[in-house]
Amino acid sequence: MPTSQPRPRYIWQHSAWPQLTWDAVVLAPALDQARLEQGRLLGLLGAIGLEQAKAVQRELWVQEALATASIEGEQLNLESLRSSVAHRLSLADAPGTDRSVEGLVQVMGDALGNHSALLDLDRLCRWQSALFPGGTSGITRIAVGRVRDHADAMQIVSGVLGREVVHYEAPPSAQITSETERFLAWFERTRPATGMSPAINGIARAALVHLWFESIHPFEDGNGRLGRALADMALAQDMRSQDAQASPALVRVYGMAHQMLKTRSAYYDALNHAQRLRGIAPESGTIDATPWVLWFVQTFTSACVASQAVVRDARDKGQFWLRAAQCQTNERQRKVLERLLEAGHAGSGGGFLGGMTTDKYAKITGTSKATATRDLADLIANGLLRVEGLGKATRYAVNVPGWEQPSVKG
């Protein structure tokens, strides 16, 4: 009696794989909104000046690197990361000392800086090798610089040993070289051309790039970080197709990885749902990825909105320092102003908790209460600080329109 074949569970097992499609009519409103917020973000960046734009790009690159690693449960050395990013932006002479951090920064930099260069298997393998300079993931030796070739199933699992939950199983290693080559051929074939109407919306294409790459999971480790770098690369290609003068580095300010980390559970759920054959008829000629593309586009929109707030803060700080430069502030005053500006404001999720007080000023600057009182009065007279509250509840905040200090927590 013939043995029945197991029912396909994942999209790569479908007869239509890898024909991923999406409904343009359904996605039209979301894509229009995404383009609107993208334009607003780029407009804000263009208005703040080159130096401030570089500072924003540097900070958001650091945030993106931290986020893409954190999604995988890895915590990076912040000091080394800042040094590596500054080096890549020609703002520092030497990179950081952590080789794995430097490797991630190199991958992110190459994906955007060389987005127009051919993406082939050798380049992907070099990216993956850069993420694991010691040839290990933690203390476990892994295949580095080549696609996986182990006989065991490549599974995404969670849970304690003996009670694991399998969320996804990728194609077997024997198929990976051909699967990866097919993905790369599609990536090159659908690459948008400058000044020409693309065959596929660039943001939707980035969504498919990420879904397809994560579904084949070609490497033993590092697939998530590489998949997000590839999505950024696709977005950089899209940006260049719309504006030949646009810098691909601006893609970094979209903050996709940061937004994915903020909604990590929803990210995993959307990706897992898209990789499974839920509601897809075995005989259908394509695989409908509309829900995943919609999630990706909406996340892209949210990331643009969040980055707009970062750019506005940078603009506000720049304008504040222009005003401060016209005043005769001393070193103590500048130190406190920097602390207050670095903390941000309540509306951005930051803020100097409870506001600045005379006692806090004296402690931060190592001066007497009398000197602190004079310094604060001088800053108020120059319009750099404003007073909030009365008596013992008196607080001082940087005088930036729209910035509010958070209330004291009991």
pLDDT of 253 > 90? The answer is: no
Mean pLDDT of the residues in the chain:
87
Distance CA 410, CA 405 (A): 15
Nearest-angstrom CA–CA distance, 326 and 322: 7
Q: Considering Cα of 227, then 231, then 234, then 240, what sign does the dihedral take?
A: negative
- The pLDDT of 171-179, averaged and rounded, is 96
Give the pLDDT confidence score for residue 281 in this predicted structure: 65
Q: 256 pLDDT exceeds 90?
A: yes
| Residue 326 in tokens | 């016209």
Q: Is 155 helix (H, G, I), strand (E, B) or coil?
A: strand
Indicate the DSSP class of residue 386.
Answer: E
Tokens of 277: 């054959």
Residues in the chain: 410
DSSP per position, 317-381? HHHHHHHHHTS---HHHHHHHHHHHHH--GGGT---TT-B-HHHHHHHHT--HHHHHHHHHHHHH
Tell me the mean pLDDT in the region 114-122. Answer: 95
pLDDT score of 76 more than 70 = yes
Is residue 344 within 8 Å of residue 404, measured between CB atoms? no
Q: What is the mean pLDDT of residues 354-360?
A: 87
> Is 260 in a helix, a strand, or coil?
helix
Question: Between 58 and 405, whose confidence is greater?
Answer: 58
Percent of the chain with pLDDT over 70: 88
How much is the pLDDT for 282? 62
Answer left, alpha or beta for residue 49, where phi above 0 means left and psi between -120 and 50 means alpha. left
Give the three-state DSSP class for 235: helix
Q: Do the strands 165-169 and 155-158 form a parallel or antiparallel pair, or are they unpaired?
A: antiparallel
90: left (phi over 0), alpha (psi -120 to 50) or beta: left
Name the nearest CA neighbour of 307 among 239, 258, 238.
Answer: 258
Lowest average pLDDT, out of 13-17, 382-386, 398-402, goes to 398-402
Q: Which residue has the higher pLDDT, 16 or 196?
A: 16
pLDDT of residue 187: 97
Amino acid symbol at 349: G
- Give CA–CA dist 66/1, Å, rounded: 56
Residue 407: pLDDT band (50, 70, 90) is very low
Give the model confidence (pLDDT) of 297-324 as tens digits.
999 999 999 999 888 888 888 889 889 9
Separation of alpha carbons 270 and 264, rounded Å: 10
How many CA atoms does the CB half-sphere of 56 hold within 13 Å? 32
Report the DSSP pairing between strands 385-388 and 395-398.
antiparallel
- Whole-angstrom CA distances from 378 to 363, 369, 372 are 18, 14, 10
d(CA 313, CA 403): 9
Lowest mean pLDDT among 168-172, 330-334, 346-350, 389-393: 346-350
- Confidence at residue 408, expressed as pLDDT on a 0 to 100 scale: 43
Half-sphere exposure of 82 (CA within 13 A, CB side): 5
Lowest mean pLDDT among 158-162, 242-246, 261-265: 242-246
Domains, the chain, ranges and CATH? Answer: 11-313 (1.10.3290.10), 328-398 (1.10.10.10)
Could you tell me if 73 and 91 are in contact, meaning their C-beta atoms sit under 8 angstroms apart? no
The contacts of residue 158 (CB under 8 Å, 6+ apart) are: 164, 165, 167
Angle at which helices 50-71 and 223-242 cross, to 10°: 150
The mean pLDDT of 107-117, rounded to a whole number, is 93
Site of tokens 């759920």 = 269
Tokens standing for residue 97: 């000392």
**Which residue has better confidence, 5 or 361?**
361
Confidence category of residue 197, pLDDT binned at 50, 70, 90: low
Inter-CA distances, 241 with 108, 193, 238, Å: 20, 6, 5
